[in-house]
Amino acid sequence: MPYPCKVCIIGAGSVGSTFAYTLMQSGLAREIVLIGLAADRAQGEAMDLNHGLFFAPPVDILTYVAY
């Protein structure tokens, strides 16, 4: 697909935010929109996706690689 598409995810809970994260990592969407009943949660999830680095154990190895 030469031009990635825009994707709207309705529901910014655990499933929606996990799907958004996976979609972001895949690079298949150029824009992802999260819509949820709790606008503050949806905004927080979007901020986490744009600014967060996610580490899981073993953190020491991943931290070294990120460094």
When divided into structural domains, the chain yields a total of: 1
Is the sign of the CA dihedral 58, 61, 62, 67 positive or negative? positive
Q: Which domain holds residue 29?
A: 5-66
Per-residue model confidence as pLDDT tens digits over 3-50? 678 999 998 888 999 999 899 888 888 888 888 888 888 888 888 888
Could you tell me if 10 and 16 are in contact, meaning their C-beta atoms sit under 8 angstroms apart? yes
Q: The domain spanning residue 11 has which CATH number?
A: 3.40.50.720
Q: Residue 53: which pLDDT band, with cuts at 50, 70 and 90?
A: low
